[in-house]
Structure 1
Amino acid sequence: MKRAVPRDVTPHGVAHARRGFSARFASLRATGASALAAFLVVLGPGLLAGLSDDDPAGITTYSVLGTDHGYRLLWIIPVSTVLLVQFHLVAVRIGAATGKGFVGIIRERWGTSWGYLTVVLLLFANFGTICAEYAGIAAAGSLIGVPAWISAPVAGVLITLVVLLGSFHRVEHVLLLISSTLALYIVDGVLARPVWSEVVSGALIPRMPVNDAGWVALTASLGTTLAPWGLAFIQSYAVDKRITTTSLRLARWDVIIGSVLTGVIGLAIAVACAATLHQAGVRIETAADAAAALRPLAGSFATLFFGAGLLGASLLAAAIVPIATAYSIAEGAGEPASLDLDARHFQWFYAAFVGLTVTAVSIVSLPGLPLIPLIYSSQVLNAVVLPLHLIALLRLGADETIMGAARATPWATRLGWVSVALVVTCIAALAWSWV
């Protein structure tokens, strides 16, 4: 049974809605419960937001990185992981301190017009990504002969039923279970039998690209790891989970673990392709191409694990990206945004989720429809939105009027601006390579 979420979005209403989590967390601390038990209470936002970045677009990006450039550019994945930890921590801190998601706090701090603009940008940027997730499901199904017009709708119905009928914690448990399938990519990385000394060298020693394609690969790897929808999701999800400033220390470990696992899985995908497809001179365009090409090079198990991981990643992201977008739409409209809302009555949050899912499934199921232009344009828009999102997070995190004692330190803010400069530089280099 879903619990009702108060419609009061004032600070008093937020405090009331979060009282259950705070009491539960405090009781664990007061009764001397183990640190593990307290950690399990806050586990979720960082893990899901991080692992969902390893979606079909991310898997394809890492596959191309390893296939086309071998071990040379692996270092961008650890760098992206550090940035992921940094900005996910900022987003969680803002959510914990304010009790509002990204669009909600934009709306409060800078007005409804900026809130609406943020929703529009995220909606356009996210929709192509949602289509990409269902395209990933279709691609995984095609590996065993299941057509897209069957696999995509079936997945859409199952995901929608889980979100509409499940409580917050049940939805979270299902998503965490699905995310565990991504561990198969680590097995794939080992099965590929890479040259480990070259893996370590490529991952730790930065070497610049030798051509425009290398710059594209670097920027794409950075952008697929640090996605605007992931940043919006982790903040809104942390609010939905009732994370507060008292639990931030443990929530920080959730973010770090989720981000590191994301980087390890991305590295395993790139290594598997570098050790096999790159050595054989194979060229690929999608993650499904990589899975099929691995069969003669690394065996049937490698193909099976790669395909199963692609399906799990697609299902996870096909749930999370629409949830992230639905959070933003509801917050922009000033309506409640929670997985615990009563689905038997109209809710902006659920209406947005269902609308996005049905539209994306319909598009992916159409035979012969070219998805690449839609997905490509959404990724370009993501590249434009990302620096704006990061700048907004840094400004909000350093704003004492909304953060109070939880505001970022000057040192952390300066480090954040250095990271933004790095992101902008990569995007500028990519744009220059296209001119």
Structure 2
Amino acid sequence: MTGQKTSVHRIWRALGPGLITGAADDDPSGIATYSQAGAQFGFSLLWTLFLTLPFMAAIQIISACIGWDTRKGLSSNIARVLPPAAVYPLVASLLVANTINIAADLAAMGEALRLVVGGSALAFAVLFGIVCLTAEVFIPYHRYAGYLKFLTMVLLFYVAAAFSVHIPWGEVLYATVAPKISFDRDMLLMVVAIFGTTISPYLFFWQASQEAEESRLSHRHQHARTKSSKTGAFQKISVDTWIGMVFSNTIACFIVVTTAATLHAHGITHIDTAAQAAEALRPIGGPLAFALFAAGIIGTGLLAVPVLAGSAAYAVTEVFHMRGSLELPANRAIGFYAIVAAATIGGSALLATNIDPIAMLFWTAVINGIVAVPIMIAMMLVVTNKREAARVSLPRWIKVLGWLGSGLMAVAVLLMIWSTVT
């Protein structure tokens, strides 16, 4: 028994940025998108989650290897192959998308807590923002990463929620392997939203920066010149990332399945927020499904908001050559933490405006899908550039998957724009 505990402990310690990144992908805005997909289209869009998995894993492995091998984040590496006129708009679009995403996530968390205990959703949302900001500023990275990794377990609530209601698993399997594809605008918009919330730009920057932190802290980079050492690092990153991405998409699948089997099956085809999905589940799936769904929203928000703010801060400080790291105290990285605070406070401030938080949740996913395309192409240029390829060691198959993923995202966005115009 002791040996088994030791093995589990070793596996848990080996998991790192890949697991956290995958879990952060299922943030409240993602939960809202998956819930709407299940409510509006039933099981018919489950195929998108299996289609995106290999491309999602590949692009995250690429970003992770860029961070590990160069000990620098994504934006500083992109700046080596692209001119400032191209880099600045990419970073600016990430900052805007992340701020809107933070606002949407905080709104969903506040609304979820209001459903459980009553009170003001806005006050709860602002309080959650303060908690996330305080944790990022005052807890060093090596401790904070452990807390984030523990929070990933909250996503298992969605597995429990699925098994608390009746699921026609035969229909689920059929919809997964026999997809229905339509060029209807609403379906294309939903596909782009699913792609955008599954392959999100902030995850690229976050994992690259976290692998760079791990590389600097572990001292393994000092011995990474040999081919065997580089292969070992790639294998470790690949296993960690694949586990994180499979975990992420599995949870997303359970969210779609749960809402399709309950809401869609009972004629509820329009869900705008994750909290609304939880509330709608109460009379159909019972109080247990409602409680699990609401708890998951709050837990994933606490995980995702720091990732969103942190990834924006890493991206901006690297472009402008400012000192920045979650491992540094606030007085040694003032600019970095100022951006973390600005993104978090900016997201909180959006909640007090007339911007509809309901629309913000879904459109955040669509914006992420659009922004992801140029950033993914820029990443692929980094790892295929002759000068940079020597710094980042990657097998050819992972690069092929990266380009295919970039093309898939681009085609989805172009089809959405085409269907909207025509």
Q: Cα distance 1:55–1:66, how it changes in 2: closer, same or farther (>3 A)?
A: same
For 1:411-430, list aligned pairs within 5 A: 411-430=397-416
Local SS of the residue matching 2:89: helix
Supply the distance in 2 between the matched residues of 1:259 and 1:359 (Cα, whole angstroms).
29
For 1:357-396, list aligned pairs within 5 A: 357-364=344-351, 366=352, 369-372=355-358, 378-396=364-382
For 1:15-414, list aligned pairs within 5 A: 40=12, 42-144=14-116, 145-209=118-182, 211-242=184-215, 244=221, 245=230, 246-283=232-269, 284-364=271-351, 366=352, 369-372=355-358, 378-404=364-390, 406-414=392-400
> What are the Cα deviations for residues 293-351 of structure 1, in whole angstroms up to 9, with x where unaligned?
11111110000000001111111111110011011111111022311112134521111
Give the letter for the 2:160 counterpart: V
Supply the distance in 1 between the matched residues of 2:379 and 2:11 (Cα, whole angstroms).
25
Give 1:367 deviation, angstroms: 7.2
Supply the distance in 2 between the matched residues of 1:273 and 1:377 (Cα, whole angstroms).
20
Give 1:220 deviation, angstroms: 1.2
* Residue of structure 2 equivalent to 1:5: none
Supply the distance in 2 between the matched residues of 1:406 and 1:369 (Cα, whole angstroms).
42
Give the letter for the 1:322 counterpart: A
Supply the distance in 1 between the matched residues of 2:46 and 2:235 (Cα, whole angstroms).
31
Give the letter for the 1:159 counterpart: C
Local SS of the residue matching 2:249: helix
Please give the TM-score of this superposition, normalised by the length of structure 1. Answer: 0.86
Supply the distance in 1 between the matched residues of 2:366 and 2:46 (Cα, whole angstroms).
23
* Structure 2: gaps (5+ residues): 1-5, 222-229
Supply the distance in 2 between the matched residues of 1:36 and 1:293 (Cα, whole angstroms).
38
Identity of aligned residues (%): 28
* Residue of structure 2 equivalent to 1:16: none
Give 1:374 deviation, angstroms: 5.4
Local SS of the residue matching 1:317: helix
The more displaced of 388-397 and 211-220 is: 211-220
> What are the Cα deviations for residues 378-423 of structure 1, in whole angstroms up to 9, with x where unaligned?
5454333211111111121123422317433444433332222222
Q: Cα distance 1:111–1:41, how it changes in 2: closer, same or farther (>3 A)?
A: farther
Please give the TM-score of this superposition, normalised by the length of structure 2. Answer: 0.89
The alignment's C-alpha RMSD in Å is 2.2
The more displaced of 203-212 and 351-360 is: 203-212
* Residue of structure 2 equivalent to 1:20: none
Supply the distance in 2 between the matched residues of 1:156 and 1:386 (Cα, whole angstroms).
25
> What are the Cα deviations for residues 220-239 of structure 1, in whole angstroms up to 9, with x where unaligned?
11111001111111111111
Give the letter for the 1:98 counterpart: T
* Structure 1: gaps (5+ residues): 1-33
Question: Given that residues 314 and 336 in structure 2 are in contact (C-alpha distance below 8 angstroms), is that contact kept between their aligned partners in structure 1?
Answer: yes
* Residue of structure 1 equivalent to 2:227: none
Structure with the bigger RCO (C-alpha within 8 Å, sep 6+) is: 2
Question: Given that residues 387 and 420 in structure 1 are in contact (C-alpha distance below 8 angstroms), is that contact kept between their aligned partners in structure 2?
Answer: yes
Local SS of the residue matching 1:241: helix
Give the letter for the 2:205 counterpart: A
Give 1:277 deviation, angstroms: 0.7
Q: Cα distance 1:41–1:184, how it changes in 2: closer, same or farther (>3 A)?
A: closer
Q: How many residues align?
A: 401
Local SS of the residue matching 2:241: helix
Supply the distance in 1 between the matched residues of 2:47 and 2:144 (Cα, whole angstroms).
35
Supply the distance in 1 between the matched residues of 2:359 and 2:255 (Cα, whole angstroms).
25
> What are the Cα deviations for residues 93-124 of structure 1, in whole angstroms up to 9, with x where unaligned?
11122111111112233344444333212112
